[in-house]
């Protein structure tokens, strides 16, 4: 029987990746417009979300970060946000939505093996079967979708390489830094993540940001930018650590399968795609895989917890 704590972890991950699905569409529209560059967009997201986390921390009990953990948090910031987001923002205009979704769906495969190496998470047949089942479902869904005529004409090798870098970096973040993430509250951890990310990106974007006239940006772009900062950055990066504290890294990563499903639903809503039995079957297959991994033997969690205690 799934506990309430586990259900909340699933809710947090599902909501985060639901927003990430919308994030793909909005980022593509905003960066393709030429109104703002990927690095400037990244800096605005870092500064905006970081400011919100630091503001919230003022109303919470002060939590001291051990000196030896700052390098770990810095590395987590580089992998989990700076490189992950920069690869994505640079790739989104160089790859079709279909190919982007296929490559993103490989993230749980990376995470499963990284977690097995870094956290000694067991690779049971049941877990591997669940990952494979979901992977088959999401690929089947994507291959049976209809791409809009307004989509990017073709995928470039650079776009593929950047998206692989995006998935691999985020998988490393999920698999390696769980011990550090579970050690501190979400607000404490994320306020430092975004501070380091802002410091990394500012030297490359400060010139453009000082020249950018926000008053001249169309209202639609301002709304999209607000969504990216508040929902796609602050809310999602608040929810993912919550899920990481409760669920195993492989299971957290499997929720990336929600992203292409959201893209299909949005395209149907705006008249770019149509619902078919193939897509329904694929969606059922994806979530069946999530359920299989979620209900894998509870004793598999014990080595992970013991390892986390040792590393902390």
pLDDT above 90: residue 24: no
Q: Higher confidence at residue 108 or residue 68?
A: 68
For residues 65-73, average pLDDT: 94
- Give the pLDDT score at 299: 43
Continuous H helices in 177-257: 178-183, 186-211, 219-229, 236-246, 249-254
**Residue that wins the pLDDT comparison between 298 and 82:** 82
- Which letter does DSSP use for residue 144 in this model? T
Distance of CA 93 to the CA centre of its chain: 18
Element (H, E) at 8: helix 4-32
More confident residue, 122 or 296: 122
pLDDT for 274: 60
Determine the average pLDDT of the residues in 270-274. Answer: 57
Task: Give the largest CA-CA distance in the chain.
Answer: 58
Return the percentage of the chain with pLDDT > 90, whole number: 24
Q: Which residue's structure tokens are 């951890």?
A: 189
Q: How far apart are CA 141 and CA 139, in angstroms?
A: 5
pTM of the predicted protein model: 0.73
Please give the torsion angle defined by the CA atoms of residues 243, 90, 83 and 191, in that order, rounded to the nearest 10 degrees: -60
Q: How far apart are the first and last CA of the chain?
A: 29
Q: 307 versus 71: which is more confidently predicted?
A: 71
pLDDT at 139: 76
Q: What is the tens place of the pLDDT at every residue in 132-169?
A: 887 787 777 666 654 444 444 466 788 888 988 998 88
Average pLDDT (92-113) is: 71
Q: What is the pLDDT of residues 218-263, one digit of tens each?
A: 898 899 899 999 999 999 888 887 887 788 776 777 777 787 778 6
Average pLDDT of the residues in 64-85:
92
pLDDT of residue 310: 32
Say if CB 22 and CB 262 are below 8 A apart: yes
Amino acid 308: pLDDT: 33
Average pLDDT over residues 266-289: 69
Predicted local confidence at residue 83, as pLDDT:
92
Has residue 95 got a pLDDT over 60?
yes
Lowest-pLDDT range, 28-32, 39-43, 127-131, 300-304?
300-304
- Residue 121 per-residue DSSP state: -
Query: Between these two residues, 162 and 275, which has the higher pLDDT value?
Result: 162
Average pLDDT, the chain: 79
Length of the chain: 312
The CA distances from residue 260 to 58, 83, 162, in Å, are 37, 21, 18
Confidence (pLDDT) at 247: 80
Q: Which residue has the tokens 């193939």?
A: 278
């Amino acid at each position: 029987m799934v506990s309430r704590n586990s259900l909340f972890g699933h809710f947090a991950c599902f909501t985060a990746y639901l927003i990430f699905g919308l994030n793909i569409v909005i980022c593509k529209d905003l960066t393709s417009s030429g109104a703002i560059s990927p690095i400037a967009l990244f800096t605005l997201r870092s500064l905006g979300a970081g400011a919100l986390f630091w503001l919230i921390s003022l109303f919470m009990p002060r939590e001291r970060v051990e000196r030896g953990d700052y390098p770990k948090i810095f590395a987590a910031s580089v992998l989990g946000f700076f490189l992950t987001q920069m690869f994505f923002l640079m790739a989104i205009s160089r790859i079709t939505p279909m190919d982007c979704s296929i490559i993103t769906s490989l993230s749980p495969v990376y995470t499963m093996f990284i977690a097995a190496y870094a956290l000694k998470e067991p690779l049971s047949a049941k877990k591997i079967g669940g990952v494979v089942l979901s992977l088959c479902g999401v690929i089947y869904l994507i291959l049976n979708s209809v791409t809009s005529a307004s989509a990017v004409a073709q995928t470039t090798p650079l776009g593929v390489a950047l998206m692989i870098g995006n998935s691999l970096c985020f998988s490393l973040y999920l698999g390696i830094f769980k011990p550090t993430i579970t050690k501190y509250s979400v607000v404490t951890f994320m306020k430092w993540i975004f501070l380091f990310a802002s410091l990394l990106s500012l030297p490359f974007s400060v010139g453009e940001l000082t020249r950018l006239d926000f008053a001249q940006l169309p209202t639609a772009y301002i709304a999209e930018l607000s969504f990216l900062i508040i929902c796609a950055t602050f809310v999602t990066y608040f929810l993912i650590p919550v899920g990481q504290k409760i669920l195993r890294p492989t299971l957290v990563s499997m929720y990336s399968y929600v992203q292409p499903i959201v893209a299909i639903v949005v395209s149907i809503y705006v008249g770019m795609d149509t619902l078919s039995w193939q897509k329904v079957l694929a969606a059922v297959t994806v979530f069946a895989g999530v359920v299989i991994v979620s209900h894998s033997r509870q004793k598999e969690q014990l080595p992970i917890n013991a390892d986390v205690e040792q590393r902390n």
